[in-house]
Amino acid sequence: MIDLHMHSTYSDGVYKPAELIAMAAAKGLKTIALADHDTVDGIDEALEAGRRHHVEVIPAVELSVQFETYKDVHLLGYLIDHRDSAFLRKLAEFRTIRDRRGQAIIANINQKLGQENKEIISYDEAMNLADGAFGRPHIARVLVNRGYARDMQDAFERYLIPCDEPKRYFPMDEALAEIDRLGGIAVLAHPTSVSEERKTLAAVIGKLAEMGLRGVEAHNNMCNADESAFLVRLAENLGLAVTGGSDFHGIEPGIEMGTGRGQLAIPHTLATALKCLHHTA
């Protein structure tokens, strides 16, 4: 079995890449993809650990993208050249913007904490939880560690969402072109997060396929069996690849790598098909 969507401490996961690979090997996974948010800094560590544990590691990234009126669409780029200097510079620019947003969110949260007569949190306290790209989950973990929230969901509902700041996204056409330039395969992550209305979702994916989308993550934690079957049929009709992954971060209750909430069983044939698509590109 495989898992083509997981995150490490280099974005918003809680395990280092080498730890993820060791866990994957213990679970019997043969292939995984490290797809951190807007960063590729953990891939080389994952590749080295993969060689030690005999787990195939597919280099990947998950970009935050805007398409038409849809914000925070997640686009996976598989089998990319993760050492490309121009791409690394672009990600560094986004990291700077992400850090500034994080500082503004913390300032907003501290204002709220002051009103609640609670001790404020610091940017450094949250940054110490991140090996790479800094994000809201790191702030949420500080709030949980301080006892200000019961869990991650509670932290988001009570603090992160009401204290949010605008986020910058890659334009969809730019993101698709960049993944293609890197020799990668662009796949839409957890498609039902875009829309649960099937006609709308089919229309969106159809437009994206015309723009250069190469696949859809039909097997994921946001889908039930019927929704996954719909996405598989849609992919087949549009000539798109099908992928799947747990979107494992290590912080979501009940989600395990490889199996998600227990409903995932992703066959190795999907990784093989993805690599074949990459070689024929």
Examine residue 176 and state whether it is found in any structural domain, yes or no.
no
69 with 131, same domain: the answer is no
pLDDT tens for 186-242 read 999 999 999 999 999 999 999 999 999 999 999 999 999 999 999 999 999 999 999
Q: Which of 257, 260, 273 is nearest to 32 (CA)?
A: 257
CA distances 91 to 52, 94, 115, Å, are: 28, 5, 36
Examine residue 167 and state whether it is found in any structural domain, yes or no.
no
Range of the domain at 60: 2-84+183-279
CATH number at residue 100: 1.10.150.650
CATH number at residue 210: 3.20.20.140
- Rounded to an integer, what distance in angstroms lies between the CA atom of residue 228 and that of residue 231? 5
Examine residue 62 and state whether it is found in any structural domain, yes or no.
yes
- Structure pTM? 0.89
Phi and psi at residue 209, in whole multiples of 5°? -60, -40
pLDDT tens for 86-104 read 999 999 998 888 889 999 9
- Rounded to an integer, what distance in angstroms lies between the CA atom of residue 41 and that of residue 24? 19
Predicted confidence (pLDDT) at residue 130 exceeds the cutoff of 80: no
126 with 39, same domain: the answer is no
Number of domains in the chain: 2
